[in-house]
Structure 1
Amino acid sequence: MSTITKIGISRSKLSDRAGLSLIMNFIKNIGFYSLVSNKFLSKIPYSGYGLTLESFFCQMVAHFIDGTHSSICSFDRKKLSASYAPVIGIEKNELASSFQIKRFIVKLSQLSNSELSEILNELFIWRLLHEKPKVIVLGVDTMVMDNNYSEKKEDNKPTYKKVKGFQPLHISWENSLIDVLFRPGNHHSNHGNDYTERVKHIVDLIRSRYSESVPIIVCSDSGFLDEKAFNFFDQLNISFITTGKMYKDITSELEHIKRGDCEKYTNGTLQWDLYDFGNKLKSWSKFWRCIATSLSREEDGQRVLDLSGPDNLIYTNIGKNKISDERLKKADMSDVLTAKGIVQLSHHRGADELIHRSLKELATTESLPFKKFNQNKVYYYILAMSHSLFEAYKNDISYDKISDKAYPNTFRRKLIDFAGEIVEGGRNTTLRIAKEVQEEFDIKELWERCLKPPVILFTAA
């Protein structure tokens, strides 16, 4: 048996994150950096010297997707690496120090939430035009970023989870965030007009850039239970599904329900009794369709005998708005008009939590690095952009190598964290990888796909 008896120094350029080169090449080739430059360059002070906007975004996106280090100081260590620059696709003299990264974030911090969200919006339209969905289901939720240990961060306020932090408002579609409103921790779900204004913005975007008639369904939890929002969405001719709260008057009203009066719904393991009726809270001006659900069979097959009251309420205008209902029928989505279809979509809203888990795993920490609120805002938006690009890569490039539901750490372990040697010569820079890695994932095929992505995000004029 041979054993290591001596340590030497290699003169080769070696990287333990060789897979990073593929996804960074994909991001470059779809035109992401050109899009960022087109949107932001004229809005920030920039002398034209030093670190460029495109290089800054390249290194920030690589920072999140790599996930090896979470601190801004880690950029100083990367600057010393001989292999890091070629892996992410830039020249070594372009590698930024932590000071340069912080200075660029300060420049971008003057941009508003709406301006920063434009990139997420463009990524959303890009995916719509590529995937061409017949119906668009939007998830709306907030996510608490726990920064409880830090007292000096601006607007690091108490949240409903009893920790100090930030509570951005998210609008999601499929596995990606498509719109973000970065907010202090004490801004609750339905704070001010945030909810309706951001949904209207996305609806206008869909109507102007994708389709004037595609059905749109907005799903949210009880934190967004608001008749003003219901009326607003009804006037926009879009559907909404919002979970309700169990008030005493509703519980007493439903005490007479018998199982024989209920429709059955199962997801394969659990079963619920559904009661479809009209309901109006005391402060509301009119009745809305409401579906009460009560669990009747547990996951182990045992039946629940007591029907003392429903365990959940779901409010909707589906089946009551002629225009949005007709759009659903034309899209062959008539099943959504039924109580079972509505409950199924409401239960699917739990996928929003999976996006939050994925986003936090990509960031590696919930702690945001800056004291100033607007600087943390920029950092968070770039995190959200990186997550959308990460999801696009899984869908467009690595779809047959790893599940599109894979979380960042699983993706990193399989498609990022493998060794590579960078060899320069003959006017080429070659990444050499182990034969075993090539045979398992066909890295050469992934590289070819990255060179010719199926659809381009943005082409510079």
Structure 2
Amino acid sequence: MKNVSRKTGIDKIEETDDNITGRGGLAFFVRYLTNIGIFSLLIGHFGDLRKSRKGLPVEDLFRQIFCWFLDGTSRHISWFDELAKDAGYAGTIEQSPDKMASSHAIKRFLRSFGIFKTWIFRKILKKMFIWRLRIANPAVIYIDIDTMVMNNDDAAGREGVGPTYKNTAGFQPLQLTWGRFVIDAVFRGGKCHSNHGKTVIKIITELVNLVRKEYREDAVIVLTGDSGFSDQKNFEAFEKLGICYAFGGRITKDIGKVVTSLAENAFGEFEKGKQRWRFADFGFIYGTWNMFRRLIFCQPVYKDGQMLLPFDRAETVIITNIRSDTVGDDMPEELTRLTDPANIVALYHSRGAAELVFRSLKDFGFEQMPFRKFPPNAALYYMMPVAFFLFEAFKEDILAPVIPLESYAGTVRRKFIDIAAKIVSHAGRITLKLTSAVFRRLKLRKIWEACHRAVPLIC
């Protein structure tokens, strides 16, 4: 008797009116955003942008823009026209099909932001920062400051686009990061260097005052940054605020003379993995400064397990106010350990993690801005770190059991967002149906329950 094999070939294709989507994971993201109360917060600040009842509610516009960022299928605003035709996508993000925004509606919305209105997004970012601080309750808050170059070299006609230090034309926003989160940002033209104007002192002062008012009055803050921010005015402001700092410094001839005059036993070594650094700790006063500050000179001895020749060792200077005479006994032990120069070297070299945050932000969003005028580009830019903050919080609060926290947006999209689902309406109830294999692999029952247990923002 012949074996009867089941036919597996596809003979034809047909259309269906079933409500099907390939972005089933967005439903969980939207439910999380709703339950933490982010839309209520946004409406409170931006509700007046809706000038007519005929226009789409501000909440719907923000929901669709945040999902557009996370979806990542296209970075063109024209893609909203395609999404507006997809009833399955609309159902997934809990949006009525007739409330889906066209590309023209999105452009009108972004153009309605004046330059002063866009600054409100900074309040949103800092509000979310306090929200996460209260959840994490850290003893020491580590904040890094740096600029992020947004390459718009092929769109030089954009207002604000200018030459950056990376030899490209673009924008160069100043950003503060805490762990994986961007907690404050100032959108600026490409010509604005790291320490441009008084922006650094202003945003750090605002943030420190907010943390001490809304989180803890005795909050211990450690600020890090590169040599682009190395300025006595900045350090004086940080010392007045009572925060600790560790910044890169400029290596001058005078510093070189001090280093060469040190005995060999004045140097210590710090090792991490296959990396090893040689360092020396001393006090120094730059020519224009009015006081001595602690400097730590360091250079790599081994890199990736290979010993470096003396002439091939990059030299770094770290300027800090973390000293045994400034760190009291009542300070957290975590800060007390930082008085050891080896730990300060480790802290400064951990700044690479902040660079990864910028890389992750660009992977989540984009660099090239679509508008000619500065205000709508600023509005779209600020929505990106806000959406990115929500995405990182979603990973931490909801996806941690199934997806590693360090995963980039592209990985989350492939593993969680881009899952097939069917939306069924029956007896007045709407159900999102997913395959059994995906349901079990991603533990979707627990994920859905976690979305409803999320800690809300305190508005």
- 2:43 paired residue among 30, 37, 40: 37
Q: Sort the Cα spacing of 1:140 and 1:240 in 2 relative to 1 into closer, same or farther, 3 A.
A: same
How do 1:139-154 residues align onto structure 2 when only pairs under 5 Å count?
A: 139-154=144-159
Q: Sort the Cα spacing of 1:332 and 1:241 in 2 relative to 1 into closer, same or farther, 3 A.
A: closer
**Distance in 2 separating the partners of 1:210 and 1:114:** 22
Cα displacement (A) at 1:252:
2.8
Q: Which residue of 2 aligns with 1:347?
A: 349
Cα displacement (A) at 1:114:
3.4
Please state if 1:176 is matched with 2:181.
Answer: yes
- 1:22 paired residue among 11, 25, 28: 28
**What is the identity, as a one-letter code, of the residue corresponding to 2:43?**
S
Please state if 1:8 is matched with 2:9.
Answer: no
Question: Secondary structure in 2 aligned to 1:11?
Answer: coil
Deviates more, 1:261-270 or 1:305-314: 305-314
Q: Which residue of 2 aligns with 1:159?
A: 164
Q: Sort the Cα spacing of 1:320 and 1:46 in 2 relative to 1 into closer, same or farther, 3 A.
A: farther
**What is the identity, as a one-letter code, of the residue corresponding to 2:35?**
N
Question: Secondary structure in 1 aligned to 2:360?
Answer: helix
How do 1:194-233 residues align onto structure 2 when only pairs under 5 Å count?
A: 194-233=199-238
Q: Sort the Cα spacing of 1:16 and 1:328 in 2 relative to 1 into closer, same or farther, 3 A.
A: farther
Q: Which residue of 2 aligns with 1:306?
A: 310
Q: Which residue of 1 aligns with 2:367?
A: 366
Question: Secondary structure in 2 aligned to 1:329?
Answer: coil
Contact 1:294 1:311 in 2 (8 A): yes
Q: Sort the Cα spacing of 1:263 and 1:142 in 2 relative to 1 into closer, same or farther, 3 A.
A: same
Cα displacement (A) at 1:110:
4.1
How do 1:371-450 residues align onto structure 2 when only pairs under 5 Å count?
A: 371-450=372-451
Contact 1:165 1:185 in 2 (8 A): yes
Cα displacement (A) at 1:28:
1.1
Q: Sort the Cα spacing of 1:259 and 1:420 in 2 relative to 1 into closer, same or farther, 3 A.
A: farther
Cα displacement (A) at 1:86:
1.2
Question: Secondary structure in 1 aligned to 2:283?
Answer: strand
Please state if 1:275 is matched with 2:280.
Answer: yes
Cα displacement (A) at 1:268:
2.2
Please state if 1:317 is matched with 2:321.
Answer: yes
**Distance in 2 separating the partners of 1:125 and 1:273:** 38
Please state if 1:50 is matched with 2:55.
Answer: yes
Could you tell me the TM-score, scaled by structure 2's length? 0.95
Contact 1:128 1:210 in 2 (8 A): yes
**Distance in 1 separating the partners of 2:314 and 2:430:** 64
Deviates more, 1:166-175 or 1:418-427: 418-427
**Distance in 2 separating the partners of 1:109 and 1:84:** 31
Contact 2:118 2:375 in 1 (8 A): no
Residue identity (%):
34
**Distance in 2 separating the partners of 1:219 and 1:123:** 21
Q: Which residue of 1 aligns with 2:252?
A: 247
- 2:142 paired residue among 137, 150, 154: 137
**Distance in 1 separating the partners of 2:429 and 2:325:** 61
Name structure 1 gaps, 5 residues minimum.
none
Q: Which residue of 1 aligns with 2:453?
A: 452
Contact 1:291 1:313 in 2 (8 A): yes
Q: Sort the Cα spacing of 1:329 and 1:305 in 2 relative to 1 into closer, same or farther, 3 A.
A: farther
**Distance in 1 separating the partners of 2:273 and 2:340:** 18
What is the root-mean-square deviation in Å for CA atoms of aligned residues? 1.7
Cα displacement (A) at 1:307:
7.3
**Distance in 1 separating the partners of 2:249 and 2:199:** 19
Q: Sort the Cα spacing of 1:255 and 1:450 in 2 relative to 1 into closer, same or farther, 3 A.
A: same
Contact 1:259 1:273 in 2 (8 A): no
**Distance in 1 separating the partners of 2:444 and 2:312:** 58
Q: Which residue of 1 aligns with 2:71?
A: 66
**Distance in 2 separating the partners of 1:330 and 1:442:** 38
**Distance in 1 separating the partners of 2:55 and 2:78:** 19
Cα displacement (A) at 1:47:
2.9
Contact 1:215 1:327 in 2 (8 A): no
**Distance in 2 separating the partners of 1:303 and 1:93:** 65
Cα displacement (A) at 1:376:
0.4
Cα displacement (A) at 1:320:
6.7
**What is the identity, as a one-letter code, of the residue corresponding to 2:47?**
L
Please state if 1:238 is matched with 2:243.
Answer: yes
Contact 1:120 1:178 in 2 (8 A): yes
Cα displacement (A) at 1:8:
1.1
Deviates more, 1:33-42 or 1:146-155: 33-42
**Distance in 1 separating the partners of 2:47 and 2:121:** 12
**What is the identity, as a one-letter code, of the residue corresponding to 2:239?**
D
Could you tell me the TM-score, scaled by structure 1's length? 0.95
**What is the identity, as a one-letter code, of the residue corresponding to 1:360?**
K
**Distance in 1 separating the partners of 2:325 and 2:210:** 21
How do 1:182-197 residues align onto structure 2 when only pairs under 5 Å count?
A: 182-197=187-202
Q: Sort the Cα spacing of 1:14 and 1:191 in 2 relative to 1 into closer, same or farther, 3 A.
A: same
Deviates more, 1:270-279 or 1:252-261: 252-261
Cα displacement (A) at 1:332:
4.4
- The number of equivalent residue pairs is 453
Q: Sort the Cα spacing of 1:123 and 1:98 in 2 relative to 1 into closer, same or farther, 3 A.
A: same
Cα displacement (A) at 1:273:
1.3
Cα displacement (A) at 1:306:
2.7
